[in-house]
Structure formats: C-alpha cells, structure tokens
Amino acid sequence: MDRVLMVQGLIVLVTVGIILYILYLYLHLWHQKYLLSQQLQLQQDLMEKTFASIHNGPVQTLGFLIREVEIHQVNQQELLEYLRGIYQNILVDVENLNLSDSTKHR
C-alpha cells in the first residue's frame, strides 16, 4: 500500500511537472508571437511613413517638373537643380529608412 501511494504521488508529480512545462512553453510562444506582431506593426508603420514621405516630397516635385516641362520651356540648368534636389530627398528618405531599420535590429 505504501508503494502504491508513492507511485501515485510520483505520477501526480511528473504529470504536474509536464503540465507546468507545457504551460511555460505556451506562454513563451505567445510572448514571441506578441513581439513579432509588434515588430511587424513597426515595420508596416515605417513603410507607410516612408512611402508618404517619398510621395509627398520627391514624387510631387517630379509631377510638378513634368507639368512645367510640358507647358513651358524650362532652362536645363534649372531642371538639373530640381532633379538633384529630388535625388537628394530620395537619398535622405532611404538613409532614414536604413537607420530606422538598423536601430530596430539591435
């Protein structure tokens, strides 16, 4: 009888240990999922912000330049200055995107 109680106690103890371990794994996976969803949301926000920044800056300026070239005679030097400015704006946006991305992965 004493052995039966001891074996039953061990079975209960092992079962509780396995349940606790499974619960720990579940909570760990849930936490990982939560962190990944936060990271994905941050990346999505960054992409939307970068898109808006490029669209509202360089793309709008390009549209303006296209209309100006179609309507008026535009000086080549003036056009080159505008294009260089657009190029610089795009480079700045891409650099900001790279900096934000590298800071998140630290």
Q: Is the dihedral of CA 89, 92, 98, 103 positive or negative?
A: negative
As given in the structure block, the two tokens for residue 90 are: 């795009």
In this structure, the chain runs to a length of 106
Give pLDDT tens digits for 1-14. Answer: 789 999 999 999 99
What is the structure's pLDDT at 83? Answer: 87
Give pLDDT tens digits for 18-37. Answer: 999 999 999 999 999 999 99
Q: Distance between CA 55 and CA 75 in Å, rounded?
A: 25
What is the structure's pLDDT at 54? Answer: 82
How remote is the C-alpha of 87 from its chain's centroid?
Answer: 24
Taking the whole predicted model, whether its pTM rises above 0.85 is answered as: no
**pLDDT at 51 exceeding the cut of 80:** yes
